[in-house]
Each structure stands twice: as C-alpha cells, then as structure tokens.
Amino acid sequence: MRKKSIYFDNAAATLVDRGIQNLVVSVERKYFANPSGLSLGAQKAAEFIRDCKKTIAGLLHTQEDTLFFTHSGTHSINLALQGFLQSDAVKHHAKTPHVVTTNIEHSAVRNTLRELESQDRITLTEVGVDREGLVSAEHIMAAIRPETVLVSIMMVNNEIGTIEKIDVIGREILKQRKSNNTPFPYFHSDACQAPSELELQVEKLHVDLLCLNGSKMHAPRGTGLLYKRRNVPFAPIEYGGGQQQGIVPGTQDVARIAAFSQSFVMAQDRVKTHRKKMLRLSQVFLKGLRELFPDVQVNGPEIGGEHRAANNLHVSFPGVDGEQLAIYLDAQGVVVGLGSACTAFSDETSHVLTAIGMTPEQAKSSIRITFGKQNTLSEVKRALRAFKKVKKLLYA
C-alpha cells in the first residue's frame, strides 16, 4: 500500500488547514445572509466582516478602510496596478506614466505591466538583480524619472525565495518624495509569499499598496487581500453594486473572508517559530542531497541567510532533466515544483533563473522544494530515500 504523498510544493499552494476548513463550514451556516442587505442576518454578517478587517488591520498596523478582500493574489495585483495606473491623478502627472519594477517579478505583475506597456499606456523599466535575486535600492532609485508614478517590487520571490529589502527601498522612495514635494512615485509590493516569513507592518515597510494571497498560507483558494493606503489615487476596474468602496464590487464571501483572516493571524503569529522549523528542514534536506548528489547547486541567496525564505530550497542537478526528476519523484510519492506554478505550461526558461545568470541548461536541471507548516523531519528523511531510488533511475 502506497504511503501518503509528501507535499513539498507549498510555494504553489498550501494544504488548507483543517481548523480553517471547519471555520468555513461554520461561518457559511451562521452568516449565510448577504452582508449588503438590511435584514438582521445581513447586519450580523457585515459586522462579522468588520471584525475580520479589524483583526487584519491590527496586524498590518493600518486602518480598516484600507483593506479590500479579493479572490486571489493575481486579483489583488491586477486591482492594485490597473486601478492605480488608470486613476486621474496618475494621468495628470504624466502623459505616459513610467513604472519601475524588477526583472524577477511574478507573472501577475510582469504580464500586467507588459500588457499596459504594449498598449502604450505606460513606459516600463525592469531593473536587474544580482545572482542571488537581490535588487539594490541604488539601482531602483537611479531608474526613477520625473514621470515615474509607481515602483513595484516583490517582497519574497516565489521561485528562489529571495527576500528583497522592501523597507530600505520604501524609505528611499519616501525620502525622495519629501525632497521633491510630490506624492510620486507610489510603492507597491507583491507580498503573497511573505506572511509566514516576515512581520508585515505597512508603516515600517513604507508601502502604499500591498497584495496577499490566502492560498499561500493554508487558506482556501479564492482568498486574497489588497491593502491600499488612504489617499492613494485609484479608479475602479470592475463594476457592480459598489461594495468595498466600489473597488471590489460584488457580494462578499463571508466564509472565505473569515478563512483569510484567521489564516493571516496564524501565519503572522508563527513567523519566528516557522522560520526556525523551515530552516531546519531545509538544512537537513540539503545535507542529504549533497551526500547523494555531490555536485548539486543551490540557486538564490544563502540557505539560512536573512535574504532567503526559510522554506525555500531551489536546487540544480547538473546533467539531470528537472522535469524528469520531478515526475520520477511524484511516482515515489514526493511532490516538488519546477518553478512558478503560473508558468508551468510554458516551455520558456524561467525568467527568474535567467535573470540571476543561469543558462537554459542549468535552469532545466532545477527543481523547487518548498515546505509548509505540515511538513516534518521524518518526511524529509523519507523524501531523501525516494531521491536515492530515483538516482538509480536517472543514472541507469
């Protein structure tokens, strides 16, 4: 009888927490009325949503009216970028607004901005990163021009786990705005991979727009959040009944809002213990891999360093096809990733791995191992035994 699969692809999606699953069911039953209605049940549902917002606002150190519940990280990002960039204030600031980002952003940011550029609605500068995936504040600031309206930088890279210096960059942007007596450029960060790794206090990060995704922190799919600082210019990109200040119109899903809220609380509460546990799993796994594959290479920042997500282990096996390796491992009951799940069906080499200087051959010999809170040391040891079996197949 095959043992339960070992799931090491948590950067793609996390296992939904059992307690969160139970919460969804109980909230669905208790708060089934439309929270936009006038009935007592509707008012109770609306009050419950306000309580969720209050909880999240306390953790982010912001006000409740800056938070908007969305359907995913991609939804949050599209709202943030498109809603901001088509606002009247942005159009008045520059005939063709300029945006600065990096060349390792998630496809939700990268493809949205490139599409807007192709429509001649913006001009775009993608700043390069070093071999660890880090972008320097100096290079970002050097790319800013008078017509720059937005800087967008990912907080934690979904492929190689790089933790960017968001607070440092945000502080430099804020200083320049004050020096030039202008609110531009505003600062956006895709923080979808960050809640279990970093404490997300928006004032310390100096961000104006922040996006989150519940499915990366053990909440159900279809849950997300947009933080928009007060007075950040914005225009709707969706239309409906005017819920959530018209930014995310439509009947609110009370149960999924509850799930996101509780998952975010749990993620932020376990930041320190999570990093310690994830780092232990990464170090043991890497040690075992090096014993089996002496030439294995780690991609991205140093394991255990301050600039790498503790749950991320992105490695290359010279001369090995990463896709074949992942398929063999799956047959052994071990699930790993090949890169961003959002580009899994593309034959193109990962733009992230290309950006850090990897050749197409090196990139295609890579796999991504990402741990979640459910993973254990015994699973790591079982997985290493699976790697040992697969090694015989690869080199037969």
Q: For residue range 146-201, list pLDDT tens digits in order.
A: 999 999 999 999 999 999 999 999 999 999 999 999 999 999 999 999 999 999 99
Residue by residue, DSSP assigns 42-94 as: HHHHHHHHHHHHHHHHHHHTS-GGGEEEESSHHHHHHHHHHHHHTSHHHHHH-
Task: Name the phi and psi angles at 32, rounded to 5.
Answer: -85, -15
Determine the average pLDDT of the residues in 340-369: 84
Which one of 269, 302, 326 terminates a domain?
269
Which one of 252, 269, 286 terminates a domain?
269
**Residue that is written with structure tokens 């015994």 in the block:** 378
| Per-residue model confidence as pLDDT tens digits over 234-263 | 999 999 999 999 999 999 999 999 999 999
Which position among 52, 192, 211, 342 bears the catalytic label?
A: 342
Residues 56 and 169 in one domain: yes
Residues 140 and 61 in one domain: yes
DSSP H helices in the chain: 18-30, 40-60, 73-85, 88-93, 107-118, 137-143, 166-180, 202-205, 254-269, 271-292, 322-331, 351-355, 360-364, 377-394
- Quote the pTM value: 0.95
Residues 185 and 297 in one domain: no
Domain containing residue 310: CATH number: 3.90.1150.10
Structural domain including 324 reads 6-16+271-394
Distance of alpha carbon 366 from alpha carbon 362, whole angstroms:
7
Residue 4 banded pLDDT, cuts 50, 70, 90: confident
Residues 329 and 385 in one domain: yes
Whether the link from the prior residue into 185 is cis, omega within 30° of 0, is yes
Which one of 254, 269, 284 terminates a domain?
269
Residues 34 and 60 in one domain: yes
Residues 244 and 313 in one domain: no
Known active-site residue 211: no
Structurally, how many domains does the chain consist of? 2
Residues 282 and 254 in one domain: no
Distances from the Cα of 276 to the Cα of 113, 196, 215, 288, angstroms? 36, 11, 22, 19
Q: Residue 1: inside a domain, yes or no?
A: no
Strands 224-228 and 209-213: antiparallel
Residues 66 and 96 in one domain: yes
Distance of alpha carbon 57 from alpha carbon 227, whole angstroms:
9
Residues 43 and 166 in one domain: yes
Residues 196 and 253 in one domain: yes
pLDDT at 116 over 50: yes
